[in-house]
Structure 1
């Protein structure tokens, strides 16, 4: 009976694998925080990219180049400006909303969604001298379950609505 406690005491005194055990304890939280940081940075990068696409594509409406465009034509023009981050081919992810407003202060910043969580959109580019609002909405997937409670903002809890808005007065065309 005395042999078992003596062997346990010898095992408890050994320090050969202490660094490996400490590394194993710290490894999971470190990798989790690293992946959460990378996914958060990717969401912010995608948001900035969408803002740039909104500014570039809204210029088509502001200058009158899109006066004969349909909603599908304008969405194609938007998708032509999108780089590799966004999946424009999937119609359940990218949404284009173009409206007019009487004044700049009357512009609504809220995104209206239907019962399934998809944004409600319309296409009304406005005429010469009218205030137009172009809103690009993209359902960005949040991959990591660790970041979903913090970044996801849709009913499913696995996507975030990235919204880029450009408001301007149409030039004379």
Structure 2
């Protein structure tokens, strides 16, 4: 019994390795915070690039109204301008609908469901002349840190949804 107590006492008095334990606690906390900040910046960059690509594409659509602007063409243009997405053409969903200012636009966004591999049914109505048109793009991205998605509202186990939307008026003839 005394041998055991002497070993415990010796272990308690030995200070070798104490700085290693402190380093592990501090470094883990610091690196976790660093990666959360890095991932947040990356997600914000992707959100900004999606909004920018949608705005540039809609500007071209407004200025050069043409029957060539189909759903697939606009999707391709957005994916070409937003350079930061993997598999953009398969994961990006567009929705276009007429907009009534007196009613507003409160529809929920729809994104690709990766877990069940379900593609949502979206409306695509380019509207007529002098009509306000609302367009929304949605894509789900994979986070770097799976536990970090709890910081973002509206996230699911399958990823972080990024939604960009804008409205424009179809110019008169």
2:37: which partner in 1? 37
Match of 2:105 among 96, 107, 116: 107
Alignment TM-score, normalising by the size of structure 1: 0.81
C-alpha distance in 2 between matches for 1:133 and 1:103: 11
Contact 1:99 1:125 in 2 (8 A): yes
Contact 1:114 1:120 in 2 (8 A): no
1:151: which partner in 2? 152
Alignment TM-score, normalising by the size of structure 2: 0.81
C-alpha distance in 2 between matches for 1:88 and 1:36: 24
- CA distance 1:80–1:122, shift in 2 (3 Å): same
Cα offset, 1:94, TM superposition? 0.7
C-alpha distance in 2 between matches for 1:43 and 1:65: 32
Structure scoring higher RCO (CA < 8 A, sep ≥ 6) equals: 1
C-alpha distance in 1 between matches for 2:2 and 2:71: 84
Contact 2:49 2:84 in 1 (8 A): no
Cα offset, 1:57, TM superposition? 0.8
Structure 2: stretches of 5+ with no match in the other structure: none
Q: How many residues are matched?
A: 170
Contact 1:98 1:125 in 2 (8 A): yes
